[in-house]
Structure 1
Amino acid sequence: MTTRDTVAGAAGFKEIALRVLREARAAVAQLAGGLGTAVPALALLLLAAGAAVTAPLGVGLLAGRAVPRALHALARRERARLGRFGPEIVAPEPPPVRLRAALADPVTRRELRWLVRHTTAGLPLGLLGVLLPVAAVRDCLFPLLWPLAPADATSTSLGIGTAHTWPEAAAVALLGLGWIAIVLGLFPALARLQAATGRRLLAAGPETDLSLRVAELTATRAAALDAHATELRRIERSLHDGTQNRIVTVTVLLGAARRMVARDPQGAGELLERAQSAAEQALAELRSVARGILPPVLADRGLAGALSGLAAQCAVPCRTDVEVPERCAASVEATAYFVVAEALTNIAKHSGARTATVTARARAGRLRLRIADDGRGGADERGGSGLAGVRDRVAAHDGTLTLASPPGGPTVLDVELPCGT
């Protein structure tokens, strides 16, 4: 085996190890997040059971009215949580909140089924997702803490066994390594199991889902066509007002120089110098237009390098934090590049900010961008800042854009795009 093969094998192993660690970390976060909705689900289930038992006596009537509202709010929270760790769940039409109508509503019935299943399955899985990593850290570090522990203290996180010698303390660390192996190997599957019930029961029904999806695709298609037309007008304007005029100037100067070359060689030379300067300016403008269509820096340096270049060129000191392990689709990267470029241009022109930050993360098939500044705030899409065009460009990819810019600042622009393939 050559040195090159050894290096390639080590790089491949490192990439696999990093991918396993990322998946395990995301699974721990997802299971812990599921615990955050499973505990309220248990409380709501107990409240609903109590209201059902005491309803004939009239005692639980008031609580029974509050149950549908709380159930719908918890279901919305679970949809948002699952959307952060995977494909977005399309919500159904707002279900009724009056008790009698809610009990007859199919959406509410599915939410009740999710409530029971998430309480019985999601709660134990969430507890496991929180307690097992803690146990792994505790047992792995036990040999370091053993000399400080009381003589009769339990050694393992299981609550059994007492270490009296260094080999016994090291055995506890081996148990901790076993917990880590379980976290790395099984937690991604457990996270998918915890989320499966919510993805199946909390999504819109087939008819509603299809109609909503058709409406969304119709809107995004219109936005894509508008964004495409706007981009074509920009390119045409750049070529007509800039490059074309330069080339016409070159043609006129070359014709005048050709006529003067015999009778006034010096004047013809000056005209040729002016023609050369105009040709160079036309070439620079053509390159600028080409970069505006698809920046070559994306192909050369990737999204991280392209965003770092934009931050370096920004008039406001800008820090970048990019974590995109894999390449997204070329059109998605181009959209992300133009979104950041437009946002930084607005910051430099209008915000009066001292610093800016660009953050990019790729998680669960989604590319999330955040551009923030400490300026005066008050940004408005209707103010001609280019944000409306940015929203159309993002909508063309079925993405989302959220702007928070209260008067006095700060301004935060959040964009989420599907990574594509």
Structure 2
Amino acid sequence: MLGSMSTIGILRRWWRATLFLVVEGVAGFVSLALLPVGVLLVVFIVIGPGWLVAPLAVRMLRWWAGLARTRTGRFLGESVSQSYPMIPADPTFTDARRLLTASSTRRDAWWVLLHALLAPIAGVLAVGLPLAVVNSLLVPAYWSAMPPGEPVSNPFPVTSWWTAAAMPVVAALYATLALWLVPAMARGVAGLARRLLAPAREAELAARVSALTESRAAALDAHAAELRRIERDLHDGAQNRLVGVVMMLGLAERSLTTNPDQALPQLARAQEAAADALASLRTVVHDIYPPILDELGLDGALSALAGRCAVPCVLDADGLARVPAAVESAAYFVVAEALTNVVKHSGAARVAVTARTAVAGAGQVLTIEVVDDGDGGARERDGGGLVGIRRRARAFEGTVNLNSPVGGPTTLRVELPCG
């Protein structure tokens, strides 16, 4: 019983490895076809015009390497991590040079080269060895039908029944070789992909330190910008109104001694100004941390934003779970700023907001997507809302992706790690 289970396990591992190598073999021929394209790109980069398409080439290389990570991770039963520098929406010459010389690009290029050389061979062997087993078993049935001058060679010429009788032994040798070699080749191909496509431990630590430094700087920038905004709101709003209240009360005090009939209307105006100042203070407090987040949670707060939006807004928050309060606050303001931009600049007739949480690695990621059918052509400008959204996301080591072709639609996707 145990022996039968062990045999079934060996056959399953061999079959799984065979399927993996067949797919990798086909993909290897694609990688082989990409090599001359890469050589031409290098030549064009040396000449000059290649810099214009370098970001697109890097994006395609990352896509192809990403498919390999998915296949490798599925075969190994573990995720193959990736770490890439961001590709700007409008890359400059410096950005293109940085992308081409990045260690991640070099790793992906080395993988394509080795994959093109090794994967097709491994794929052919994974198919050829089982076919050799089948052929060896069939040789005794058809060797005698071959022309006298063209004997079957598998692996030696079969010219008699004695040599034909040895074919089952040859088939057993081929089968043993296939059962051992195919899984070994699959592990080798997968291991090579994992080694080249996953960032090195030192690179991961360096990238992590860099990301933490950047997020700390972004958090400080966001904090400073928030303090400036609060100071501006207090100065332009509540402070001016309170100054007006003090002046009105001073006039009312003077009127009590000179013209008591005017004191009551002045006190009424002072009361109205005080109410306006209180409302302004409440607005400032609301913009620091909206109380609605505590009352209704993020989904309820987003629903309130969608309901107040001047452009018809559809909200999908079915996949949303509770996350830390700081992340919920950032997500709320991201959606609020995005909807404000849609109303002011997009000319859209409809906007859709999707918010959901998903497990990523050891934690959760809150993903927000805002899609409108407006005119498109959105760009980040200093002091604009998109810059503020990116600043908030960077404070949490999050990412912001904006796709806004001229003519629309515009898609804003923000991912916020939840710790």
Matches within 5 A, 1:204-223: 204-223=199-218
Q: What SS is found at the alignment partner of 1:94?
A: helix
CA apart distance, 1:76:
2.3
The corresponding residue for 1:372 is: 371
Q: What SS is found at the alignment partner of 2:354?
A: strand
Q: Deviations over 1:11-55 (max 9, x none)?
A: xxxxxxxxxxxxxxxxxxxxxxxx9xx97863333675x99xxxx
**Distance in 1 of aligned mates of 2:375 and 2:354:** 20
The corresponding residue for 2:104 is: 93
User: Paired residues, what number?
Assistant: 290
**Distance in 1 of aligned mates of 2:81 and 2:260:** 72
Asked if 1:251 is matched to 2:262, the reply is no
User: 1:75 aligned to 65, 68, 91, which one?
Assistant: 65
Asked if 1:385 is matched to 2:384, the reply is yes
The answer to whether the 8 A contact 1:44-1:67 is kept is no
Are the structure 2 counterparts of residues 200 and 292 from structure 1 closer, same or farther at C-alpha, using a change threshold of 3 Å? farther
User: 1:347 aligned to 334, 337, 342, which one?
Assistant: 342
Q: Deviations over 1:355-413 (max 9, x none)?
A: 11111111111111111111111111127531011101111111111111111111111
Q: Unaligned regions of 5+ residues in structure 1, if any?
A: 1-34, 52-60, 121-194
CA apart distance, 1:265:
2.0
User: 2:287 aligned to 292, 301, 307, which one?
Assistant: 292
Are the structure 2 counterparts of residues 89 and 100 from structure 1 closer, same or farther at C-alpha, using a change threshold of 3 Å? closer
User: Please, which moves more after superposition, 203-212 or 293-302?
Assistant: 203-212
Q: What SS is found at the alignment partner of 2:230?
A: helix
CA apart distance, 1:197:
11
Are the structure 2 counterparts of residues 246 and 90 from structure 1 closer, same or farther at C-alpha, using a change threshold of 3 Å? same
Are the structure 2 counterparts of residues 196 and 264 from structure 1 closer, same or farther at C-alpha, using a change threshold of 3 Å? farther
The answer to whether the 8 A contact 2:365-2:418 is kept is yes
Q: What SS is found at the alignment partner of 2:407?
A: coil
> Could you tell me which amino acid in structure 1 is paired with residue 378 of structure 2?
A
Q: What SS is found at the alignment partner of 2:355?
A: strand
The answer to whether the 8 A contact 1:358-1:370 is kept is yes
**Distance in 2 of aligned mates of 1:196 and 1:264:** 93
> Could you tell me which amino acid in structure 2 is paired with residue 277 of structure 1?
E
The corresponding residue for 2:317 is: 322
Matches within 5 A, 1:4-403: 42-45=22-25, 65=35, 74-79=64-69, 89-90=82-83, 93-95=104-106, 202-364=197-359, 365-382=364-381, 384-403=383-402
**Distance in 1 of aligned mates of 2:111 and 2:392:** 44
Q: What SS is found at the alignment partner of 1:262?
A: helix
User: Please, which moves more after superposition, 71-80 or 333-342?
Assistant: 71-80
Asked if 1:406 is matched to 2:396, the reply is no
CA apart distance, 1:419:
2.5
Are the structure 2 counterparts of residues 315 and 241 from structure 1 closer, same or farther at C-alpha, using a change threshold of 3 Å? same
CA apart distance, 1:208:
1.1
Over the matched positions of the two proteins, sequence identity in percent amounts to 48
Q: What SS is found at the alignment partner of 1:316?
A: coil
CA apart distance, 1:325:
4.5
Q: What SS is found at the alignment partner of 1:414?
A: strand
Are the structure 2 counterparts of residues 99 and 417 from structure 1 closer, same or farther at C-alpha, using a change threshold of 3 Å? closer
**Distance in 2 of aligned mates of 1:307 and 1:348:** 16
**Distance in 1 of aligned mates of 2:202 and 2:331:** 33
Q: What SS is found at the alignment partner of 2:257?
A: coil
TM-score by length of 1: 0.59
**Distance in 1 of aligned mates of 2:288 and 2:235:** 16
Are the structure 2 counterparts of residues 322 and 200 from structure 1 closer, same or farther at C-alpha, using a change threshold of 3 Å? farther
> Could you tell me which amino acid in structure 2 is paired with residue 400 of structure 1?
T
The answer to whether the 8 A contact 2:320-2:355 is kept is no
TM-score by length of 2: 0.60
**Distance in 2 of aligned mates of 1:378 and 1:40:** 43
User: Please, which moves more after superposition, 229-238 or 316-325?
Assistant: 316-325
> Could you tell me which amino acid in structure 2 is paired with residue 90 of structure 1?
S
**Distance in 2 of aligned mates of 1:419 and 1:98:** 33
**Distance in 1 of aligned mates of 2:416 and 2:80:** 11
Are the structure 2 counterparts of residues 383 and 404 from structure 1 closer, same or farther at C-alpha, using a change threshold of 3 Å? farther
**Distance in 2 of aligned mates of 1:417 and 1:347:** 21
TM-align CA RMSD = 4.1
> Could you tell me which amino acid in structure 2 is paired with residue 44 of structure 1?
E
Q: Deviations over 1:65-114 (max 9, x none)?
A: 579999975432355798xx9896435622357779966xxxx8xxx89x
**Distance in 1 of aligned mates of 2:270 and 2:21:** 76
Q: What SS is found at the alignment partner of 2:245?
A: helix
The answer to whether the 8 A contact 1:227-1:392 is kept is yes
**Distance in 2 of aligned mates of 1:304 and 1:197:** 44
The answer to whether the 8 A contact 2:396-2:417 is kept is yes
**Distance in 2 of aligned mates of 1:198 and 1:305:** 45
Q: Unaligned regions of 5+ residues in structure 2, if any?
A: 1-15, 40-59, 85-102, 127-189
The answer to whether the 8 A contact 1:68-1:102 is kept is no
